Amino acid sequence: MDSIVITGGAALNGTIPIAGAKNACLTLMPATLLMHEPLTLTNAPRLSDIRTMTTLLQSLGTEVMALQGGQVLTLSSHDLTSHRADYDIVRKMRASILVLGPLLARDGQAVVSLPGGCAIGARPVDLHLYALGAMGADLDLREGYVHAKAPLGGLRGAVIDFPIVSVGATENALMAATLARGTTVIRNAAREPEIVDLAQCLRKMGAQIIGEGSDTITIEGVTALHGATHPVVVDRIELGTYMLAPAFTGGQVECLGGRLDLVTAFADTLAETGVEISQTKSGVLVRHSGQAVRAVNVTTAPFPGFPTDLQAQIMALLCTADGVSVLEERIFENRFMHAPELLRMGAQINVQGGTATVTGVKQLKGAPVMATDLRASVSLILAGLAAQGETVVSRVYHLDRGYERVEQKLRACGAHIERISER
């Protein structure tokens, strides 16, 4: 099992290329199931989750070809051989549930295992089932699998009024609705850039969609979709993560390909800590003196609010802030698992339910720590950059699900970081 070793204290200066968005790519890949012609995705990230989705789609009969070192994916589902997504694959990744809507819309049947992923709290699939049920699907949950059948003649357009915002359920409903008979209206829809990216890709495939990026999306069903080529939107979570890096260490980093419009709430909060941020022609430039940042309060919220996927990273930063910060997690109830690991490094954090109070200390100290989930893992690496001495982060397989080549990207900017493989 690999570990990452960081020796803190080095300022960061240089450029970091930002990859395509994991969460967008994982949503775009199942869209191939909606049609017989190929879908080509450019700017794909090279991550273990992408490999897992590839394996899942291949198990259904999709042909997947990786080109340009994995940054271009061509997917063809012209001859599906199965409609069953097995537990052995699905358990590894929450996004696996996104094959349900497309399979149901295309062929009128699907059997999909309940998904896995990071253990950051309850993430039920009830909203996914609610949406597909509204479109006429017959759904039966038994022995850990969703057994789904479309009515005779296929899914029907419907008004889907989500009681709470769900990114995954919006994505499943959006894909299924492209082939449903009639008009589907999704209310209280998620507004994330990944939703916008999916809608734009589906439109290239011939779907009729308006309203993405707002809380109401309208889809007019079509009889068939066709092949397309689409670039995966830049990863706003990777962008936010690397924007934080010089705030820990001092220095100046340009995040190539970054767009501030994808991370407005996060960038505003980071600027409050005293970090200088600007949009350039080639990306986002972040500059910091290396002095203690100012304490800020953070409340996570659906897009366009502060992303829950950047909460762990900014908590790590606030561990050395001047003053007391309060972080309120409103998306996932179990997303402070990184706090005990930061305590090992000398942080002062008090967690009460969904609220964490962080009292800044002068200096973190290197320590052996353990990654508990994807975003927690990178928060510990960031903390290690600023800590005195050596930090060893174990269980970094979590990291590889969402960040490609972290060590190389940070080392190119002057970080003292390496991966140790233990076989």
Quick: pLDDT tens for 86-111: 999 988 888 899 999 999 999 999 99
CATH code, domain carrying 244 = 3.65.10.10
Please provide the average confidence, as pLDDT, over all residues in the chain.
Answer: 94
Same-domain check for residues 33 and 15: no
Whether the CB-CB separation of 348 and 359 falls below 8 Å is answered with yes
The DSSP H or E segment spanning 76 is: strand 72-76
Find the DSSP H helices in 96-166.
100-107, 126-134
Same-domain check for residues 261 and 173: no
Q: Is 415 helix (H, G, I), strand (E, B) or coil?
A: coil
% of the chain residues with pLDDT over 90: 86
Output the pLDDT for position 125.
Answer: 86
Burial of 122 from C-beta contacts in 10 A (0-12 / 13-18 / 19+)? exposed
Tokens of 259: 């767009």
**pLDDT grade, residue 123 (50/70/90)?**
very low
For 22-151, list the strands marked E by DSSP: 39-42, 63-67, 72-76, 84-85, 109-113, 138-142, 145-149
Q: Is 279 helix (H, G, I), strand (E, B) or coil?
A: strand
Output the pLDDT for position 346.
Answer: 98
Catalytic residue at 25? no
Same-domain check for residues 136 and 158: yes
* Beta bridge mates, 279: 284
d(CA 18, CA 9): 24
* Whether the predicted pLDDT of 360 surpasses 70: yes
User: How many CB atoms sit inside 10 A of residue 231's CB?
Assistant: 17
d(CA 25, CA 338): 26
Tokens of 94: 């929450």
Same-domain check for residues 238 and 225: no
* Whether the predicted pLDDT of 75 surpasses 50: yes
* Whether the predicted pLDDT of 410 surpasses 50: yes
Cα dihedral 407, 265, 173, 312, rounded to 10, equals: 40
Output the pLDDT for position 290.
Answer: 81
Tell me the residue range of the domain where 118 lies. 22-231
Show which of 179, 205, 231 is a domain's final residue: 231
Which of these ranges, 115-129, 270-284, 369-383, has the smallest mean pLDDT? 115-129
* Whether the predicted pLDDT of 163 surpasses 50: yes
Output the pLDDT for position 117.
Answer: 44
Same-domain check for residues 272 and 204: no
The number of angstroms, rounded, from the C-alpha of 376 to the middle of its chain's C-alpha atoms is 13
d(CA 61, CA 33): 10
Non-local CB neighbours of 17 within 8 Å, separated by 6+ positions: 256, 257, 409
Q: What is the pTM of this model?
A: 0.90
**pLDDT grade, residue 118 (50/70/90)?**
very low
User: How many CB atoms sit inside 10 A of residue 143's CB?
Assistant: 8
Same-domain check for residues 206 and 238: no
Output the pLDDT for position 423.
Answer: 61
Tokens of 230: 């689409």
d(CA 192, CA 181): 26
Which of these ranges, 124-138, 175-189, 324-338, has the smallest mean pLDDT? 324-338
| φ, ψ of residue 114 in degrees (nearest 5) | -65, 140
**Catalytic pick among 25, 118, 201, 319:** 118
Tokens of 325: 């910060």
* Whether the predicted pLDDT of 49 surpasses 80: yes
d(CA 25, CA 257): 16
Question: For residue 3, which amino acid is it?
Answer: S
Tokens of 167: 């990114």
Whether the CB-CB separation of 389 and 10 falls below 8 Å is answered with no
Non-local CB neighbours of 22 within 8 Å, separated by 6+ positions: 45, 47, 49, 50, 235, 237, 238, 401, 402
Show which of 178, 210, 231 is a domain's final residue: 231
R_g of the chain computed on alpha carbons = 22
Report the largest interatomic distance among the alpha carbons of the chain, rounded to a whole angstrom: 66
**pLDDT grade, residue 122 (50/70/90)?**
very low
Same-domain check for residues 298 and 345: yes
Same-domain check for residues 121 and 139: yes
Find the DSSP H helices in 205-338.
236-249, 264-272, 311-318
Residue for token digits 């968005």? Answer: 21
Output the pLDDT for position 121.
Answer: 41
Show which of 199, 231, 263 is a domain's final residue: 231
Same-domain check for residues 327 and 353: yes
Q: How many domains does the chain have?
A: 2
Same-domain check for residues 355 and 298: yes
Tokens of 222: 């079509």
Same-domain check for residues 184 and 282: no
* Full strand arrangement of the beta sheet holding 283-288: 12-17, 251-256, 283-288, 276-279
- β 283-288/63-67 pair status: unpaired
Same-domain check for residues 336 and 205: no
Whether the CB-CB separation of 295 and 327 falls below 8 Å is answered with no
